[in-house]
Amino acid sequence: MWLYTTSFAIGRKGNKGMEQLYEHNMILDTAFKIIRHDDLSREMREYAEVNNVPIIDDSGLETVLQFLKLKKPKRILEVGSAIGYWSTMIARHTGAEIVTIERDDQNYEKAREYIAKSSVAEKIKIYKADALEFNIALLEDTRFDVIFIDAAKSAYQRFFEKYEPFLADDGLMISDNLLFHGHIFTDKKDLSSNLRDLTRKIKTYSAWLAEHPNYETIFLPLGDGIAFSYRVQGSEKKI
Ligand SMILES: C[S@@+](CC[C@H](N)C(=O)[O-])C[C@H]1O[C@@H](n2cnc3c(N)ncnc32)[C@H](O)[C@@H]1O
């Protein structure tokens, strides 16, 4: 179970634990072997920082890439493109085709611009839509080897339930930001009501995922906390 795994991995709960976690990630930073940045990825990271657009950090990306190296996916669905950073990096490093969905106008336009400028533009299809309403039947191929959930924190379970029927039998579901920048360890009274609500929803999602009868999940306290879920072989799809 996630919280126990996390507290075990980082020593103890609370902000002290988070400090240790971030120190640990900083140590990992020096050991990254897979990620190859280029001028475009550096420009995207700078844009994201200046404009406060949350994108995956190197530690999270390296962790995902380690799994994808083993998985060798051909098709990936990303829920929440932001400016197209994750999709361009993943397409560059794996060669997989990526379908990605973004609802915010500005992020969508920026993602289109960056994807078009990238060396993997032909591998990525971006859709401007609310992923909770997106009609996936419009796609020619609706089967995915990997689904990456990285959109509104309040709706992770709904994203999971909506897209899980389109995951290949041996597919991998990835959920990002489950540490929610450390807020899941912060005392409730120190959080604004909005953050408290989102934190509760993220924790509820993690607990739901941990107990899901059809998935085996590992929760890793790397990046901003990532869960990797494999379908239990032989479990029924709802579709
Ligand atoms: C954390 S960012 C994604 C970062 C991106 N995956 C990366 O690492 O480069 C979350 C994005 O999800 C988008 N989003 C939130 N809820 C959404 C929804 N229901 N449908 C589509 N996009 C959504 C937000 O507008 C935001 O751009």
pLDDT tens for residues 128-137? 999 999 999 9
pLDDT (0 to 100) of residue 26: 60
pLDDT (0 to 100) of residue 191: 86
Asked if 220 and 53 count as a contact pair (C-beta separation under 8 A), the reply is no
Atom of ligand 1 nearest to the CA of 80: 12
Asked if 230 and 11 count as a contact pair (C-beta separation under 8 A), the reply is no
Q: Mean pLDDT throughout 81-105?
A: 98
Residue 9 pLDDT > 60, yes or no? Answer: no
pLDDT (0 to 100) of residue 188: 82
Decide which of 192 and 48 is more confident.
48
Amino acid at 134: F
Q: What is the pLDDT of residues 142-179, one digit of tens each?
A: 999 999 999 999 999 999 999 999 999 999 999 999 99
pLDDT band at 234 (very low <50, low <70, confident <90, very high): confident
Decide which of 234 and 216 is more confident.
216
209: exposed, middle or buried (C-beta count within 10 Å: 0-12, 13-18, 19+)?
buried
Q: Whose CA is nearest to atom 14 of ligand 1?
A: 151
The residue whose CB lies within 8 Å of the most ligand 1 atoms, and thus the one to mutate among 150, 181, 202, 224, is 150
Round to whole Å and give the CA distance between 234 and 232.
6
pLDDT band at 30 (very low <50, low <70, confident <90, very high): low
Residue spans per domain, the chain: 2-231
Report whether residue 61 contacts ligand 1, using a CB cutoff of 6 Å. no
Residue 91 pLDDT > 50, yes or no? Answer: yes
Structure tokens at 109: 């336009």
How many Å separate Cα 210 from the centre of its chain?
A: 17
pTM assigned to the model: 0.90
Structure tokens at 35: 């990620």
pLDDT (0 to 100) of residue 173: 98
Let me know if domain 2-231 sits in CATH 3.30.200.20: no
